[in-house]
Amino acid sequence: MELIIGLISGAVGGNVAGGVLKNLNQGTLINSLAGVVGGGLGGSILGMLGAPDMAGVAGEAAGLDIGAIIGQVAGGGVGGGAVLAIVGVVRNMMNK
């Protein structure tokens, strides 16, 4: 479930970053693909840094920890935007 949330929020983050940063916009498909990659990486990096996972603590309803969900969405969105920015800069440099 964490991965799916990270991938979806990454795709959204990539498209939002493409909309905001017009000079880095690569089109909806590339924005989404870069966002998915970044969302997966962002969620993984947060997990390695010790962010709470979606399973929560024993006794809580599994998968319903709102803090972990918000963390995954934020990590995925930021990761998606970051990877899109990197892809955009590299593609702009290659076109010169």
**Residue 44's CB: how many other CB atoms inside 10 A?**
15
Q: Would 12 be classed as within a structural domain?
A: yes
Q: Would 17 be classed as within a structural domain?
A: yes
> Given the structure tokens 């996972």, which residue do they identify?
53
Domain count of the chain?
Answer: 1
Q: Would 33 be classed as within a structural domain?
A: yes
Average pLDDT per 10 consecutive residues for the chain, totaling 96 residues: 84 90 88 90 76 53 69 86 89 88
Query: Two tokens at 73?
Result: 């969405």
| This model's pTM is above 0.85 | no
Residue 41 structural domain: 2-91
DSSP codes, 62-87: TT--HHHHHHHHHHHHHHHHHHHHHH
**Residue 52's CB: how many other CB atoms inside 10 A?**
15
Q: Would 39 be classed as within a structural domain?
A: yes
Q: Would 96 be classed as within a structural domain?
A: no
